[in-house]
Amino acid sequence: MKSGKGFDMHGSMRGRKFVGAAALAVVCLAVVGATSARASVVYDSIPTPLPPSLVSWGYEATSTSQFGDLIQFAPGSRSLTGVDVTMVNWATESTYEPVGTSAGFNVPLTLTLYNVDSSGAVPTVGSIIASQTIDPTILWRPEASAGCSGGTWMASDGNCYHGHAQNVAFNFTGVVVPDQIIFGLSYNTQNYGPNPTGVAGPYNSLNFGLNMTSGPSVGSEVDPGTVFLNTSWSGAVTTATLGVFNQDTGWAGYVPAVEFNVPEPASFGLLGFGLLGLVFLRRAGRGAARSRA
């Protein structure tokens, strides 16, 4: 069992044909336009619906620079569109009044996707497939509620929480992945990360959300009960080597909350239907033009 440090425990006929064809084409294209942006999920460990907060892994609190998992995608496309990651923020605006805006604060987050090196007894990180850095606005955690203790806030479900869960989105459109990958999320805190800031900030209270209520609903963990992390604190690991992004055991029941998306397969069928409507529209238009000549 992990230490509690870093965890948040909570006209004419032809004219009519022409108009009908035009309407059909417009509808087809509208549907295609709306559907082409949809995505199909090939891995999902984010609870649905997303609760007000999740148990979470704090980078500053646990001397962590990178955290992630080894996962297996469900059958389907391997050309990604995006990845959602659940973050849990404990920082309130009143604590960091000069920072950010009334909505929240910004912090660069980097998500890296790796091939899996399975040549040894324990899987390790292989070559980088892709990496992306975003600068999302992290929403402040609501201020402490009078009906809660320990500085926590009361959500609409009537329960009190230390953190505020929210998803951030990475765009990996066109990145092709194998059936299994290792992913790792990194960001800078005051003392940890690729380039520690050296200054206290709300990022010290920003954590990676963990799903402890269920396993992945789509796809699976390759080695359940394990994660990948890079930490310099011996109290954070069971078997992992300190200072290296590698696999650690003893994490049964704690699954990093992420979702990987690929294009919706139905988009391609609807696109064909839309193009068929356009062909019909063009032919009807030619017939109408001939009748007027």
Give pLDDT, residue 265.
Answer: 80
Rounded to 5 degrees, what are φ and ψ at 51?
A: -75, 170
Average pLDDT for 158-180: 98
Lowest mean pLDDT, pick from 16-20, 48-52, 143-147, 208-212 = 16-20
Domain match, 213 and 278 both: no
Give pLDDT, residue 7.
Answer: 56
The residue that leads in pLDDT, 287 or 209, is: 209
In a domain, 292, yes or no: yes
Give pLDDT, residue 15.
Answer: 41
Q: Percent of the chain scored above 70 by pLDDT?
A: 77
What pLDDT, in 10s, does the model give residues 74-133?
999 999 999 999 999 999 999 999 999 999 999 999 999 999 999 999 999 999 999 999
Domain match, 290 and 195 both: no
In a domain, 90, yes or no: yes
Q: Taking a C-beta distance cutoff of 8 angstroms, is the pair 257, 85 a contact?
A: yes
Amino acid at 3: S
Give pLDDT, residue 173.
Answer: 98
The residue that leads in pLDDT, 292 or 57, is: 57
Counted domains in the chain:
2
Domain match, 107 and 32 both: no
pLDDT at 239 > cutoff 80: yes
Domain match, 249 and 164 both: yes
In a domain, 62, yes or no: yes
Supply the mean pLDDT for the chain.
85
The residues near 65 (Cβ < 8 Å, ≥ 6 apart) are 59, 186, 192, 193, 194, 230, 231, 232, 245
Average pLDDT for 270-276: 45
* Domain coverage including residue 20: 11-38+264-293
Q: Is 171 left (phi over 0), alpha (psi -120 to 50) or beta?
A: beta
Band the pLDDT of 38: cuts 50, 70, 90: low
Distances (CA, A) of 17 to 275, 279, 284, 287: 17, 13, 7, 10
Q: Output the DSSP codes for 122-172.
A: S-EEEEEEEEEEE-PEEEPPPPPPTTSSTT-EE-TTS-EES-EEEEEEEE-
Domain match, 113 and 28 both: no
Rounded to 5 degrees, what are φ and ψ at 260?
A: -110, 130
Domain match, 206 and 82 both: yes
Domain match, 43 and 155 both: yes
Average pLDDT for 236-264: 97
pLDDT at 238 > cutoff 90: yes
Domain match, 25 and 140 both: no
Q: What is residue 214's DSSP assignment?
A: -
Amino acid at 112: T
In a domain, 160, yes or no: yes
Q: Is 193 left (phi over 0), alpha (psi -120 to 50) or beta?
A: left
Give pLDDT, residue 177.
Answer: 98
Give the up-direction half-sphere exposure of residue 15: CA atoms within 13 A in the CB hemisphere: 3
The residue that leads in pLDDT, 272 or 105, is: 105
pLDDT at 48 > cutoff 70: yes
Domain match, 186 and 290 both: no
Give pLDDT, residue 39.
Answer: 79
Average pLDDT for 190-218: 97
Rounded to 5 degrees, what are φ and ψ at 210?
A: -120, 135
Domain match, 50 and 17 both: no
Computed from CA positions of residues 48, 51, 55, 60, in that sequence, does the dihedral angle turn out positive or negative? positive
In a domain, 5, yes or no: no
Band the pLDDT of 266: cuts 50, 70, 90: low
In a domain, 1, yes or no: no
Band the pLDDT of 231: cuts 50, 70, 90: very high
Q: What angle, rounded to 10 degrees, do the helices at 13-36 and 266-292 form?
A: 160
In a domain, 61, yes or no: yes
In a domain, 2, yes or no: no
Domain match, 268 and 239 both: no
Domain match, 28 and 67 both: no
